């Protein structure tokens, strides 16, 4: 008579063997299906894999049978599943291409709205970090906005707007960091110009307070380093930027420091600035 521990050990081993056998059987069935000449069997097998979330295997079979189903009733479902496999596998360039193609071919499909959203969302996923070139980010915003325009009552509109806001902030962050970088490398004229452009382009940005402070900071430093012939004009410009900051953000966390800098400009008692 076996002990409980012995029986448990036996059961674990049996389960392990069963899992291995199932895995090999599954792989064997898939390999057989890859070589099968029956498109209908492949369609059913691949659909089952798709519904089980086995997208990589399903995709390989869908790729094989897509040409054979063109123009047939099953083609619509097959084309959508094929595109969604790419999306689930995070191959967003390919999935967006196929979803866009699906919408073009089946504009009246009940899946057209979902396909259009997933196509646009694929562009969102391809948007790089803000420090890199933002061509894909701009493209993603355009695609998401186009989706909203085409399907204004869609249940996906809220998600699309949220994604657009994230992408917009990425563009804001990049423009802000470029302007601030000019400040850090002591190119104060370029910094002021960049912050001015930033504030015009993104009037509702959450970075507005910081941008207005660092614009004033750049103007303060530019005036401080200027020769006498230019100092008065640049000081007036800097005071103007201070007043804009104070008016827009009277309770700004930067106000104490900014006020000290303004007084230095007015009194001509400017702290020495070392140009980097």
Whether residue 222 is contained in a domain is answered as: no
pLDDT at 3: 58
The region of weakest confidence among 11-20, 116-125, 141-150, 231-240 is 11-20
**81 has a pLDDT exceeding 70:** yes
Structural domains counted in the chain: 1
- Domain containing residue 47: CATH number: 1.25.40.10
Q: Find the domain containing 45 and state its range.
A: 35-122
Is 112 domain-assigned? Answer: yes
Confidence tier at 79 by pLDDT (50, 70, 90) = very high
Within 10 angstroms of residue 269's Cβ, the number of other Cβ atoms is 8
pLDDT of residue 26: 53
In a domain, 39, yes or no: yes
Distance CA 110, CA 150 (A): 14
Q: What is the distance between the alpha carbons of residues 55 and 49, in angstroms, rounded to a whole number? A: 7
Structure confidence at residue 27 (pLDDT): 61
Helix boundaries (H) for 205-254: 208-224, 228-248
CA–CA gap between residue 231 and residue 227 (Å, rounded) = 6
């Amino acid at each position: 008579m076996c002990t409980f521990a012995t029986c448990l050990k036996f059961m674990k081993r049996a389960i392990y063997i069963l899992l291995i056998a199932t895995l090999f059987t599954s792989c064997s069935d898939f390999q057989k299906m890859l070589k099968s000449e029956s498109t209908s069997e492949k369609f059913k097998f691949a659909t089952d894999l798709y519904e089980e979330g086995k997208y990589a295997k399903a995709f390989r079979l869908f790729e094989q049978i897509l040409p054979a189903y063109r123009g047939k009733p099953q083609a619509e479902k097959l084309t959508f599943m094929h595109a969604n496999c790419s999306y689930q596998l995070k191959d967003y360039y390919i999935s967006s291409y196929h979803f866009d193609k699906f919408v073009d071919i089946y504009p009246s499909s009940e899946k057209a709205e979902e396909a259009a959203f997933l196509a646009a969302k694929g562009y969102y996923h391809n948007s790089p970090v803000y420090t890199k070139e933002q061509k894909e980010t701009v493209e993603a915003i355009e695609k998401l906005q186009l989706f909203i325009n085409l399907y204004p009552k869609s249940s996906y509109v809220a998600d699309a707007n949220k994604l657009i806001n994230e992408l917009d902030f990425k563009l804001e962050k990049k423009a802000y960091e470029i302007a601030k970088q000019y400040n850090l490398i002591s190119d104060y004229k370029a910094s002021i110009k960049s912050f001015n452009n930033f504030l015009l382009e993104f009037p509702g940005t959450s970075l507005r307070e910081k941008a207005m402070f660092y614009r004033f900071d750049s103007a303060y430093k530019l005036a401080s380093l200027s020769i006498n012939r230019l100092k008065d004009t640049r000081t007036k410009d800097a005071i103007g930027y201070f007043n804009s900051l104070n008016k827009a953000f009277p309770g700004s966390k930067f106000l104490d420091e900014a006020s000290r800098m303004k007084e230095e400009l007015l009194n001509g008692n400017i702290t020495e600035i070392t140009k980097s």
